[in-house]
Structure 1
Amino acid sequence: MEFNGTLTSCSIICESDRPSQVPPSTVWVEGRLICGLNSSPPRPNLSIEQRQLEAKQYLASINKGQQAYHVETETFTDKIEEFGLFIPTETESYCYEIKTVEDKWVVTTATPKLRDLKSYTGVVFITTSQGYFMTKSIVCESDRPSSIPPLIEWVGEEVKCVFGSSPLS
């Protein structure tokens, strides 16, 4: 997986769909490793909605943590533990990644490990209001299941979700 020219990693566990002497296979699709034919990731009894709720809650918490961290330090961080959250960077359903950009904004992505899940991008950015600097945040959700987190675009001093994704309220 590549993010802003930086290679990152995410592991996957695959299990056979039926008894077999052949081990489960993996395949590269759209720049990401997925389970191949006759195999799938282990699935605890969590619904798609529950898995996606995890990502939404994690990104909302990370965005709030980044905003509080910025008030204290006037910078952003790519280390979750620096603002007191104990959120894993990888769960059974998602890989989470944080990248700071030019000390002006920070992007957190939630990349799904399962093909039926939506992906998410959270952004905290600095803007001005009445001559004062302040932080704002947004979380974009892909409109359909996707292995690629939503892209964002700058419109003036605001960050917007691009076509194919929608902001969460």
Structure 2
Amino acid sequence: MKMFHFILKSTAIATALSTMMAMTPLGFAQKQARVSANPLAESSDLPLSLTLGELDGSWRKFKTSGQYEFGDLMKAWANLIGFSSYNNLYFTQGKTITVAGNSYLVAYRFPVSDEDINLEEMFDSWQLGEGCDPSEMTDSMISLDTKVSLSLLNPNTIGSLNDIESFDVTTEIEKAKAQQEARQLLCEKAEAESKMFEAQQYLRTINYAQQDLYLETGTLTGNLAGLNAGMPSGSDDYYYSVTLQSPDFMTSQAIAKSPEGFNLVGAVAAVSSGEEKYTISILCQSEEAGTTVPTNPILNSSIPSLSCAPGTKESY
């Protein structure tokens, strides 16, 4: 069975290579030959790197399956959430070379990053939106000067060659720009949500402090300092304030300093049920980003209850 599987696998790779050759212009196909110089030797005529601007219409792009290095897996995982567009992408003219008795397909690819991979930091960044820097995406944009490195692929260890297409550098750059813009929007949203998490925690603390104050003194306050919780009136990303709407109704606000941020409003109300008096609270966030102060939560004294105003939704 193993031998049968190997024959099928080798046949599939051979078919894929033939397909790439068939897509190649006739004039180029007639010049195809095995490369004889060992690319690991100094005398090799194979360049160790090329720029995308040097890849003309005779080149094909494709992806592989079944052969992965750890760096490739990191790129693939990053691609799932939109932070990488070129994992596992190769460029070739269909040339082959023999090294130490083994045949290899000559291809070029974007270099795997040599930076150390910290899995904990990577997943924290994806989950919380931290470290999402749109400027880094701009710096990594491809251009005519972007370099691709020599890579030798062993047809016997590749699962398959996929998505084989003609390569047009102009089209590829335009596509990359569109993808970068989409990623930047995703990045900005992730950053805004990460910063909003701080504001959510802050307003919840204000609500809890107001409720504790009411239990101790029977009053609410419109003064942050009066809560004795050591809370500042602002941070790098938000302005904070509290307002005493009435002796039994207090609201709090977290207003984003950036137009990409989401605003939040909270409220605590002292209500009665028969002779019993207690507090209720709520936290609401704006449905749209911006610096406009959202409408305060609505107090319904007859039920009693608090609800988010139109344009806001409850935040948990």
Instruction: State the TM bucket, normalised to the shorter chain.
Output: 0.5 to 0.7
Amino acid of the residue matched to residue 168 of structure 1?
Answer: S
Amino acid of the residue matched to residue 109 of structure 1?
Answer: Q
Amino acid of the residue matched to residue 115 of structure 1?
Answer: P
Residue 278 of structure 2 aligns to a residue in which SS?
Answer: strand
Given that 1:150 and 1:161 are in contact with CA atoms closer than 8 Å, whether structure 2 keeps it comes out as no
Q: Are 2:264 and 1:120 equivalent residues in the alignment?
A: yes
Q: 1:70 aligns with which of 206, 214, 220?
A: 214
Q: Which has the higher helix share?
A: 2
Amino acid of the residue matched to residue 67 of structure 1?
Answer: Q
Residue 288 of structure 2 aligns to a residue in which SS?
Answer: coil
Q: Which has the higher strand share?
A: 1
RMSD, aligned α-carbons: 1.7
CA distance in 2, matches of 1:158, 1:138: 9
Q: How many residues align?
A: 124
TM-score (norm. length: structure 2): 0.37
Q: Are 2:235 and 1:88 equivalent residues in the alignment?
A: no
| Structure with max Cα Rg | 2
1:108-129 deviations in whole A, cap 9, x for unaligned? 1111100111101110001123
CA distance in 2, matches of 1:121, 1:127: 19
TM-score (norm. length: structure 1): 0.68
Aligned equivalent of 2:292? 148
Q: Are 2:232 and 1:97 equivalent residues in the alignment?
A: no
Alpha-carbon offset, residue 159 of structure 1: 2.1
Alpha-carbon offset, residue 134 of structure 1: 0.5
Unpaired segments of 5 or more residues in structure 2?
Answer: 1-189
Residue 244 of structure 2 aligns to a residue in which SS?
Answer: strand
Residue 292 of structure 2 aligns to a residue in which SS?
Answer: coil
Residue 306 of structure 2 aligns to a residue in which SS?
Answer: strand
Amino acid of the residue matched to residue 284 of structure 2?
Answer: C
Q: 1:161 aligns with which of 294, 304, 308?
A: 308
CA distance in 2, matches of 1:84, 1:149: 25
Residue 208 of structure 2 aligns to a residue in which SS?
Answer: helix
Q: 1:135 aligns with which of 257, 260, 279?
A: 279
Percent of aligned positions with the same letter in both sequences?
Answer: 24
CA distance in 2, matches of 1:158, 1:102: 16
Alpha-carbon offset, residue 99 of structure 1: 0.8
Given that 1:140 and 1:150 are in contact with CA atoms closer than 8 Å, whether structure 2 keeps it comes out as no
CA distance in 1, matches of 2:273, 2:293: 29
Residue 81 of structure 1 aligns to a residue in which SS?
Answer: helix
CA distance in 2, matches of 1:74, 1:148: 33
1:122-141 deviations in whole A, cap 9, x for unaligned? 10001123531100100110
Given that 1:119 and 1:150 are in contact with CA atoms closer than 8 Å, whether structure 2 keeps it comes out as yes
CA distance in 1, matches of 2:209, 2:299: 22
Unpaired segments of 5 or more residues in structure 1?
Answer: 1-45
CA distance in 1, matches of 2:298, 2:223: 24
Aligned equivalent of 2:34? none
Alpha-carbon offset, residue 47 of structure 1: 2.3
Given that 2:193 and 2:262 are in contact with CA atoms closer than 8 Å, whether structure 1 keeps it comes out as no
Amino acid of the residue matched to residue 305 of structure 2?
Answer: E
Residue 54 of structure 1 aligns to a residue in which SS?
Answer: helix
CA distance in 2, matches of 1:162, 1:106: 15
